[in-house]
């Protein structure tokens, strides 16, 4: 009996010890959780305090920067006033203040200068040019040994070197057709006959060859060299009596031959499902020196072609007429012409606005004190949009497309929500309607309101690319095509009539389209005018389609280049 009681007592104390052990374990777990919670709360409070101190520090820096700028401006103004007072006392003429162009500080959006890492440079052989072999040999006297007078033997090996030479010369080609006389007495055969005539020329009844006019055409519209300079160069090369009028008349005939191709380029741009459009100024000079009109060169481009058109005034009616039957996405900037009433009739045209112009609005605020951090945040958001869209475009047709598409749409939604919330918060800081801002805070609020309001007003056109991945986010490619126009405007200043402007636009269209398809211009023109000459001045429709730049295969491009090299070699 005593033993049983002792066993029960031992079991009781063992159970009690286990219960106390479990209680101590629960206390330790609760203690660790409380300690982790306290540490997390302390960390959050510390981060919040740090962020608050950073904001206060940044505000103080902005205030100090503003005060320093205002003081420096006041000091400079006072110095200028004292200098003008000193000049008046000494009787000196008053100096005009010089416009300063301070160096823009570097920001996070600036691109690094210099050659990228990993790039190499060196001499590359120009296999695209036809070779011309020049052999240098020695006569017997030079090969004779000075000791034994034995002549050195020729070896099959040669020491070779290669250089690219540029031959520029004008020649007067006289064609002599040899005549022949039959020595037989066969019937129904002429007694004398001559060799066949030379190949026909597209420029009939002209004393200058087609190659001559192709050279003039390329110098004027491809290299943007004025006809005055070309006439002087011809005179310096020995060709006298060729003036600008002669060259201009020949160019008019050459451009007329090329107009069917230009019209096909126009039709291609109008029928394309994705088009970009932009315009630039091109002055049109009148009869007098002071009579100058502002002409405009419109550009319309698609993936296959680039079309330019010259008009004397900038209006929405022109755009409406051009895109009236089009069904396309039109990538443009935010000019008011694209949103006018005339364009409202083009119901099948969807405007896609440029994100690069929107980013430039925020870049303009980087130079304003107190705006750098705010504007830099939006610039980083736009850069992330470009990165996400590039990833999505590369993943088209792959299983990863849906993932990148969802990330881009989430980023766009967050971007819009952030801009709307900031616009609403900023509305309370604006000056009253129609009033001028009275302090620095109101000026900052007004500048932010204008940028955000413009962003949200064009939001529908800015987000077309989200649902249509084939649409680009900007019209940078369209603006790059104006490089040749800028060079022409710098060298030639402008045109002297509307017809001349149309001629410039037509040639810029053809050359830009050939450049897009990487077709050699001289070889293409040589082959085209040879076909024109064979058909007596006009190509049939089926053969003309074979000269469309977007219809040429790689084999056809190589054939054109080989034929051009052969014709130059025969010459």
The string of pLDDT tens digits covering residues 420-433 is 998 888 888 888 77
Write out pLDDT tens, residues 506-519.
999 999 999 999 89
Count of CB atoms within 10 A of residue 206's CB?
15
- Is residue 274 scored above 90 in pLDDT? yes
Closest to 446 (Cα-Cα) out of 432, 456, 457, 458: 432
Beta partners for 434?
Answer: none
305 pLDDT exceeds 90?
A: yes
Euclidean distance between CA atoms 167 and 171, whole angstroms: 12
Q: Please tell me the distance from the alpha carbon of residue 504 to that of residue 311, in angstroms, as a whole number.
A: 12
pLDDT in tens, 73-123: 888 888 888 888 777 776 655 555 555 455 555 554 555 555 555 555 567
Tokens of 292: 């100058």
**3-state DSSP call for residue 310?**
strand
**Stronger pLDDT, 289 or 477, i.e. the higher one:** 477
pLDDT surpasses 90 at 415: yes
Query: What DSSP string runs through 121-142?
Result: ------TTSPP--------HHH
| Number of neighbours of residue 210 by Cβ within 10 angstroms | 22
State the Cα–Cα distance between residues 97 and 380, nearest whole angstrom.
Answer: 38
Bridge partners for 194 per DSSP: 179
- β-strand pairing of 292-301 with 328-332: unpaired
pLDDT exceeds 50 at position 570: no
pLDDT of residue 87: 74
pLDDT of residue 565: 64
| Residue pair 206/196 in contact by the 8 Å Cβ criterion | no
Write the DSSP symbol of residue 237.
T
Q: Which of 180-184, 266-270, 341-345 has the lowest mean pLDDT?
A: 341-345
pLDDT at 259: 93
């Amino acid at each position: 009996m005593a033993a049983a009681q002792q066993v029960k007592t031992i079991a009781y104390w063992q159970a009690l010890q286990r219960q106390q052990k479990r209680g101590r374990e629960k206390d330790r777990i609760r203690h660790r959780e409380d300690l982790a919670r306290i540490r997390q709360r302390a960390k959050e409070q510390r981060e919040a305090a740090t962020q608050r101190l950073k904001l206060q520090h940044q505000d103080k820096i902005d205030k100090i920067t503003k005060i320093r700028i205002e003081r420096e401006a006041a000091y400079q103004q006072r110095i200028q006033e004292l200098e003008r007072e000193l000049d008046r006392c000494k009787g000196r003429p008053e100096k005009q203040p010089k416009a300063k162009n301070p160096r823009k500080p570097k920001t996070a959006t600036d691109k690094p200068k210099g050659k990228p890492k990993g790039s190499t440079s060196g001499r590359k052989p120009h296999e695209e040019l036809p070779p011309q072999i020049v052999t240098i040999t020695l006569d017997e006297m030079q090969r004779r040994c000075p000791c034994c007078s034995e002549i050195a033997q020729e070896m099959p090996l040669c020491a070779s070197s290669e250089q690219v030479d540029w031959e520029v010369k004008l020649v007067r080609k006289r064609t002599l057709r040899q005549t022949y006389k039959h020595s037989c007495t066969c019937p129904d055969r002429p007694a004398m006959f001559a060799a066949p005539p030379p190949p026909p020329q597209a420029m009939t009844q002209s004393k200058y060859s087609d190659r001559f006019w192709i050279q003039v055409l390329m110098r004027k519209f491809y290299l943007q060299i004025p006809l005055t300079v070309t006439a002087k160069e011809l005179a310096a090369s020995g060709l006298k009596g060729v003036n600008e009028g002669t060259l201009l008349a020949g160019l008019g005939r050459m451009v007329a031959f090329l107009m069917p191709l230009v019209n096909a380029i126009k039709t291609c741009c109008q029928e394309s499902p994705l088009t970009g459009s932009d315009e630039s100024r091109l002055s049109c000079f009148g009869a007098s020196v002071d009579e100058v009109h502002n002409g405009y060169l419109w550009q319309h481009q698609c993936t296959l072609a680039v079309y330019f058109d010259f008009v004397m005034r900038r209006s929405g009616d022109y755009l409406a007429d051009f895109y009236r039957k089009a069904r396309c996405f039109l990538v443009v900037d935010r000019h008011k012409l694209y949103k006018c009433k005339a364009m409202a009739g083009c119901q099948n045209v969807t405007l896609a606005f440029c994100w690069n112009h929107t980013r430039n609005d925020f870049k303009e605020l980087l130079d304003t004190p107190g705006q750098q951090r705010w504007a830099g945040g939006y610039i980083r958001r736009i850069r992330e949009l470009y990165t996400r869209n590039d990833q999505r475009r590369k993943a088209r047709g792959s299983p990863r497309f849906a993932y990148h598409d969802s990330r881009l749409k989430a980023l766009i939604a967050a971007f819009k929500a952030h801009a709307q919330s900031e616009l609403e918060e900023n509305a309370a800081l604006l000056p009253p309607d129609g009033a001028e801002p009275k302090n620095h805070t109101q000026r900052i609020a007004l500048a932010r309101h204008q940028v955000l309001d413009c962003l949200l007003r064009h939001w529908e056109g800015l987000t077309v690319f989200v649902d249509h991945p084939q649409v680009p986010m900007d019209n940078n490619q369209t603006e790059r095509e104006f490089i040749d126009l800028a060079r022409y405007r710098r060298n030639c200043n402008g045109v002297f009539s509307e017809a001349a402007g149309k001629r410039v636009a037509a040639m810029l269209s053809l050359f830009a389209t050939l450049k897009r398809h990487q077709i050699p211009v001289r070889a293409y023109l040589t082959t085209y005018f040879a076909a024109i000459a064979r058909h007596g001045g006009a190509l049939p429709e089926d053969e003309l389609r074979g000269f469309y730049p977007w219809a040429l295969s790689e084999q056809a491009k190589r054939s054109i280049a080989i034929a051009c090299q052969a014709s130059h070699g025969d010459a």
